[in-house]
Amino acid sequence: MREGRFGEIKARRNEIVENLTEESDKKDKGLIRKETFLISEEKDKNLPTEEKKEISDRMINRYFLDYGISKIGSNTCVDAIHSQMANTGEIVRILKQKPQWKDTDSVEIINKGVAIAESIAFIRENNPQRDIFSIISELSKKYEEDKLSVEILKIKGLHEDYVGSLAKTVAEKSDSSYYIARKTRRFMDANRPEDVRRISDKNSREEFGHGYYNAQYQLIKKFSENSQDYQENNKELIKPFLHISLHGKSDKSDDAGDIIISNGLRKGNMPCDPQIARWFSDKLNDKIKERGLIKDNNDYYFSGVAKEGDRFCGNIVHTERRFGSKTFNALGSNYQYIQVELCLPLRAKHFPELQDILGEILIEFQEQFVNSEDLKTFLQSKMTPEDKIRLEGNLYTEAAYFSDIPQGVIQLSESYRLALGVEVGEKVLVNKREFVVKATEKDKLDLRKPILSSNENFSKEVIIEKVVL
């Protein structure tokens, strides 16, 4: 690194802290890192390429524990971005930010965190097949009278078991590129917009997304160019590129499947073409049946595609990477991103089979989609009328009807509003008729459908379009 570089960053950081007015902000490391990154991004635009590469590599090493580039230039990539479990140091930082724990002695937190980590390691050593969630459940009962230990166990539960080793093995089997996050989800949940910290009603991430997404973008460019060089942020991918992101999910009865392939609209765009989402899901189902992978009820495990309104239908950060944002130029339509949500029983009981299945699918993508013409021909041949509607940025879905909804009003959940890119109070067209958007009432959210008046006379599926002014 160029002499004096660290001094420049330190000076920028100190200036930011001096300009912050709230004492709490002056201690907010995530906020300070974000502001330092934004200032540095602007000031570093004209640096020599070699120095940009050094800066980029430092950022990559900050956020990613491990990564590898395909040996033969394969057009596939696999990641595990939420596979790390919180360590004791991170747990201390998280708890100190909570009002009920901010005065707790750090040594007490460390001692209890170490004891829990040792208990988890002991249980796993004696029973390697145990998943982390059953272990945490067991320990939570053991420590149920100890509120601090229970809180530590909750933080450790924000961990997606098995996916880290799964991603690396799948990459090795298919000669795909890969990356595994260094930080935990609580530090850097990678499925949130850059400026959003909220993970759930009760949890927020420590970091903003700016530095992470920049490092992730650089990795994908390296993979797609099959190069260790720094890639300038100025061109789309020139050939089909499949990027799968492995996640763990809990089971709910209305899920699209035991495995969910995320393919929801976000502000009128999708992270991958719906034809590719179906191709991937169908491959999974065929290979699951070939290997006889069945659940306790003797049904085969099933993969389904999650569309708008479904659980795990996708996040806007991935459509922005594909189509561009204020931060990044677009990777382009050749870039196909698939978030793969895997249920725990499949990860725990059929880990070797899952490695083989995912590896085979990535190899088949490499063989089938060699160039852009291959992809274009496939997409055209598999296009459905519903695909056409959704690819134009519109919803095609069933609605639910209630007598207490006024005519001329449509209730849309946050997920549906984000799909179209509309706000409460704006107007949409439902089968070419104008409606005012309201938020879906709490007692109707579980339906996961647009809500209309029972006086409306629409067919089963409706087309909902954003009104373009």
Give the model confidence (pLDDT) of 356-397 as tens digits. Answer: 999 999 999 999 999 999 999 999 999 999 999 999 999 999
Model confidence band, residue 53 (pLDDT cutoffs 50, 70, 90)? confident
- Looking from the CA of 237 toward its CB, the CA atoms found within 13 Å total 31
Model confidence band, residue 3 (pLDDT cutoffs 50, 70, 90)? low
* Domain presence at residue 72: no
Q: Domain range holding 152? A: 88-156
User: For residue 411, what pLDDT is reported?
Assistant: 97
* Domain presence at residue 172: yes
Whether 26 and 144 share a structural domain: no
Q: For strand 461-466 and strand 395-398, is the pairing parallel, antiparallel, or unpaired? A: antiparallel
Q: Is the pLDDT of residue 412 over 90?
A: yes
User: For residue 364, what pLDDT is reported?
Assistant: 98
Q: Is the pLDDT of residue 33 over 90?
A: no
- pLDDT tens across 90-105, in order? 889 888 878 899 899 9
Q: Which two tokens stand for residue 403?
A: 């007598």
Q: Which two tokens stand for residue 309?
A: 């309104």
- pLDDT tens across 269-316, in order? 999 999 999 999 999 999 999 999 999 899 999 999 999 989 999 888
Q: Is the pLDDT of residue 179 over 90?
A: yes
Last residue in a domain, options 389, 404, 423:
389
* Domain presence at residue 380: yes
Q: Is the pLDDT of residue 203 over 80?
A: no
Model confidence band, residue 201 (pLDDT cutoffs 50, 70, 90)? low
Whether 309 and 406 share a structural domain: no
Burial string for 99-122 (b: 16+ CB within 10 Å, else e) reads eebeebeeeebeebbeebbebbee
Whether 244 and 328 share a structural domain: yes
User: For residue 454, what pLDDT is reported?
Assistant: 93
Q: How much is the mean pLDDT over the chain?
A: 90
Model confidence band, residue 21 (pLDDT cutoffs 50, 70, 90)? confident
Whether 172 and 258 share a structural domain: yes
User: For residue 183, what pLDDT is reported?
Assistant: 82
Whether 143 and 174 share a structural domain: no
Whether 174 and 256 share a structural domain: yes
* Domain presence at residue 284: yes
Q: Which two tokens stand for residue 128?
A: 């390697």
* Residue 27 Cα distances to 32, 183, 193, angstroms: 8, 20, 23
Whether 252 and 373 share a structural domain: yes
Look up the CATH number of the domain holding residue 450: 2.40.40.20
Whether 284 and 429 share a structural domain: no
The more confidently predicted of residues 85 and 233 is 85
Last residue in a domain, options 156, 191, 215:
156
Whether 252 and 321 share a structural domain: yes
* Domain presence at residue 383: yes
* Domain presence at residue 452: yes
Whether 217 and 260 share a structural domain: yes
* Domain presence at residue 66: no
Number of domains in the chain: 4
Whether 323 and 405 share a structural domain: no
Percent of the chain whose predicted confidence (pLDDT) is above 70: 97
* Domain presence at residue 57: no
User: For residue 32, what pLDDT is reported?
Assistant: 87
Last residue in a domain, options 339, 371, 389:
389
Whether 383 and 235 share a structural domain: yes
